[in-house]
Structure 1
């Protein structure tokens, strides 16, 4: 039987078309991730008595993307090895180029690494559950060399922190100061993805301004390789606990394998997490994975105010409830000043209207 390999775009806003893709993925135990913004399918255009001329031909292969992450691949078992993966990936790459995206990733099952390697993707890392590969105009090593040059990161041992700072609090400032007191140089990577109520540019500016008194601290955008949980795939790891573990292991290993070796980072600092089970589990994974790469994790007890640690979630809760009197005890001057700007007031209004997990 000969199958036509005509690639067709799916209208994700059309429930019938979306349901059809979800049903096809379901045959392989997969799901269509919620963040998908573009989907292609290949249909079996060979005439069959099983469907009439007025019916849509059945899907035999599909793939999707979410921004610059390729995901949700499935090909009918009897058509694997027929070049359909290459056809779908080529179509997606053409789409990415049309959107001005020239660097992209694929998360896949480790058993699929060879398929994507043959299509030009470069291997980044994998664990038992997931593999990450990349393709495009640069790779992770080139990216890190670029950071070295831009931020003048020379020889010598140093420490690092990875922070979201949504918003920047006295707790964050305290943690950075602790690291700065113990090391000749400290790199603070600010999570770049804009999934937080406080935009990345704002968070980066607040931390930069709020650490000016620390000459041995450099504030650096995280880039795409300090992985965001928001882009991590659900489509082939359905169980939330397994997904969190796979994500944490991959993120920790990439940080240790690439960032720490490139920048001679010997210690990573995190704040102790007494409340959030997700962050607590993530910290535990860091403790296990980082030593494999010769890196120690230093967990610092958070700066308290009253009976509770200072945290960004506590600040957002107070903003949401309009209880601003105690903010002076939770936020540095730079963040307090920002909240009094037009953009700051706009964000506070948004916080009061919504409940955010970030």
Structure 2
């Protein structure tokens, strides 16, 4: 391509990574350590443009001011799309500053939602609409074989990782289900290091069979943990997580909740994890703006210990699963026992 040389890394390491970090810093951006693939364009060994991704999320896109208007962005985007398709990825997203909207739209991206500080885009013009239709269809199909709680009028929602599904999750679901006509359970779809999305979904499905008024969904990419949102373009790093929470809550409040007539959202209290505590506080402050009531349910305990999925994972890794069997529903316990035996742990 002319005088420019393209170079890729999965991701870059060593000297090449440091060069990329310095270029991004010069462009007012921060290198994101979660990057899985990067492309750089060089002229006379100097980086003049770059684009990266973390799985299916585009990030750290920059073109040196001197070389803007020379179609370098189109070249980077074409290379990224070829990489995505080569990896079997057909649906991808981008997070950037709102002032970059026109730039990203020229790359074939479409806005999903935006706040004052963050813009979320995707490559499928109707992607969000398809997701909302899927949620509605799942709701209608599951309601046919479920029974509503006739004593209540609200439509509740909980959003969970369930890695793995514990008696704490079960308790929160039961408490919320008692207080609503229907309860939507959203299982976060981003892959986890312990159990896969499919495993987590199946364990929740088995664990809630006796609760008649619950509807189970996988979230897709439109409801992911704000902890994994890119922050490479946000200068106020101390406030970055709260900004990400605002984007997540806005998408839920403006688009997802109205589609399912959700009136109430439930969380478990979080005395230990600062990140989750901050997210709960953001929910408490912002959900009323969308006419959604916020409810924080005290965490269930096992003896004098708060039931925690992270504690279960820790004991599993230490081959001490039996010490937390009381934290787990029977179906989760059986599955983890079988998994442990199959892995020879």
Q: Which residue of 1 aligns with 2:31?
A: 32
> 1:19: how far off?
2.5
The answer on 1:130 being equivalent to 2:118 is yes
Question: Within 5 Å, which residues of 2 pair with 1:183-202?
Answer: 183-202=180-199
For structure 2, list consecutive stretches of 5 or more residues without a partner in the other structure: 144-152
Q: Which residue of 2 aligns with 1:114?
A: 102
The answer on 1:335 being equivalent to 2:332 is yes
Kindly tell me: are residues 59 and 295 of structure 1, through their superposed partners in 2, closer, same or farther at Cα, counting changes over 3 Å? same
The 2-side partners of 1:347 and 1:280 are apart by: 34
The 1-side partners of 2:159 and 2:41 are apart by: 41
Q: CA-to-partner distance for each residue in 1:90-127, whole Å, 9 max, x for gaps?
A: 22122212222111101111211121123332111222
The 2-side partners of 1:98 and 1:318 are apart by: 38
Kindly tell me: are residues 184 and 199 of structure 1, through their superposed partners in 2, closer, same or farther at Cα, counting changes over 3 Å? same
The 2-side partners of 1:182 and 1:157 are apart by: 7
Q: How many equivalent pairs are there?
A: 335
Match of 1:259 among 242, 250, 256: 256
Asked if 2 retains the 8 angstrom alpha-carbon contact of 1:7 and 1:88, the reply is: no
> 1:74: how far off?
1.1
Asked if 2 retains the 8 angstrom alpha-carbon contact of 1:188 and 1:220, the reply is: yes
The 2-side partners of 1:229 and 1:268 are apart by: 17
The 1-side partners of 2:181 and 2:248 are apart by: 25
> 1:30: how far off?
1.9
> 1:230: how far off?
5.5
Match of 1:79 among 67, 74, 80: 67
The 1-side partners of 2:187 and 2:5 are apart by: 39
Question: Within 5 Å, which residues of 2 pair with 1:1-358?
Answer: 4=2, 6=4, 8-11=6-9, 12-13=11-12, 15-44=14-43, 56-136=44-124, 138-152=126-140, 158-229=155-226, 231-237=228-234, 240-341=237-338, 343-345=339-341, 349=345
Kindly tell me: are residues 37 and 196 of structure 1, through their superposed partners in 2, closer, same or farther at Cα, counting changes over 3 Å? closer
> 1:168: how far off?
0.9
Secondary structure in 2 aligned to 1:36?
coil
Kindly tell me: are residues 240 and 197 of structure 1, through their superposed partners in 2, closer, same or farther at Cα, counting changes over 3 Å? farther
Asked if 1 retains the 8 angstrom alpha-carbon contact of 2:194 and 2:313, the reply is: no
The 2-side partners of 1:63 and 1:344 are apart by: 41
Secondary structure in 2 aligned to 1:162?
strand
The 1-side partners of 2:250 and 2:73 are apart by: 28
> 1:321: how far off?
4.5
> Which of 78-87 and 101-110 deviates more?
78-87
Kindly tell me: are residues 99 and 314 of structure 1, through their superposed partners in 2, closer, same or farther at Cα, counting changes over 3 Å? closer
Q: CA-to-partner distance for each residue in 1:33-85, whole Å, 9 max, x for gaps?
A: 222222222233xxxxxxxxxxx432211111121111111111233344332
Secondary structure in 1 aligned to 2:252?
helix
Q: CA-to-partner distance for each residue in 1:245-303, whole Å, 9 max, x for gaps?
A: 12211111111111101111111110011121111110000112222211111111111
TM-score by length of 2: 0.88
Asked if 2 retains the 8 angstrom alpha-carbon contact of 1:102 and 1:136, the reply is: no
Asked if 2 retains the 8 angstrom alpha-carbon contact of 1:198 and 1:347, the reply is: no
For structure 1, list consecutive stretches of 5 or more residues without a partner in the other structure: 45-55, 350-358
Root-mean-square deviation (CA), in Å?
A: 2.5
> 1:164: how far off?
0.6
